[in-house]
Amino acid sequence: MPDATAHPVRLRREARGLSQVALAAAAQLTRQSIGALEAGRAVPAVDVALRIAAALGCTVEELFAMGSTETTLQAERSAQGAAFQAGSHMEAARLVALGAADAGIGTRDVAIAFGRGFIPLAVERDDLVIPVVSVEDPRVQLLDTLTGASTRRELEPLGYDVRSSGDPVAEVHAA
């Protein structure tokens, strides 16, 4: 008997007798991507959702529409009041989109995927530390990608401030 709480991608995949590896190959993805999607840890980009739907012989709406869980969530909300605790950013966005929650904590990309507004709670800065002696290493030169126009075009719509991406912050020499 299929798990009624399983992600629609998993249900369709299993109904077609496909493994995660087979679906990943058909959709030109990795098995890890399929696993993350089915577990609710990832939200596919539009092109990825279209490839998965094509590989499963269905529409994107059949895989990612929220209508199938709406009745269940409303019934749970009636029984529990507003005592929902989402297990992932995607689940929080789904609850908000269905009206089962007034707000939720999530990432900007998940809010965008569900057509929800987004208010950042904090601004976070991430620094990458590279020893000065390694700056010329060819593997480190790949970090030039961080300052490239294509990377910036992908990250800016997700709300990332890329103005100083790749800029050196400090040069510290080992003692």
Retrieve residue 96's tokens: 């908000």
pLDDT tens-digit profile of 57-73? Answer: 988 878 876 544 443 44
The pLDDT value given to residue 21: 96
Percent of the chain topping pLDDT 90: 17
pLDDT tens-digit profile of 34-63? Answer: 998 888 887 888 888 889 999 999 888 788
List all residues 6 or more positions away from 13 whose beta carbon is below 8 Å from its beta carbon. 19, 20, 23, 34, 38, 56
Instruction: Kindly list the structural domains of the chain, giving each domain's residue range(s) and its CATH number in brackets, ordered by start.
Output: 8-64 (1.10.260.40), 68-113 (no CATH), 125-175 (no CATH)
Write down the pTM of the prediction.
0.42
Q: State which H helix or E strand residue 13 sits in.
A: helix 8-15
**Can you spell out the DSSP letters for 52-92?**
HHHHHTS-HHHHH-SHHHHHHHHHHHHHHTT----SSHHHH
List all residues 6 or more positions away from 116 whose beta carbon is below 8 Å from its beta carbon. 93, 96, 97
pLDDT tens-digit profile of 129-173? Answer: 888 788 788 877 777 777 788 888 887 777 778 888 877 788 777
Retrieve residue 78's tokens: 């009636």
Q: Which of 54, 4, 61 is nearest to 27 (CA)?
A: 54
Tokens 């012989």 belong to residue:
57
Q: Which of 132, 164, 123 is nearest to 146 (CA)?
A: 164
Q: What is the mean pLDDT of the chain?
A: 78
Is the CB of residue 37 less than 8 Å from the CB of residue 44? yes
Percent of the chain topping pLDDT 70: 83
Distances (CA, A) of 115 to 24, 70, 149: 26, 16, 26
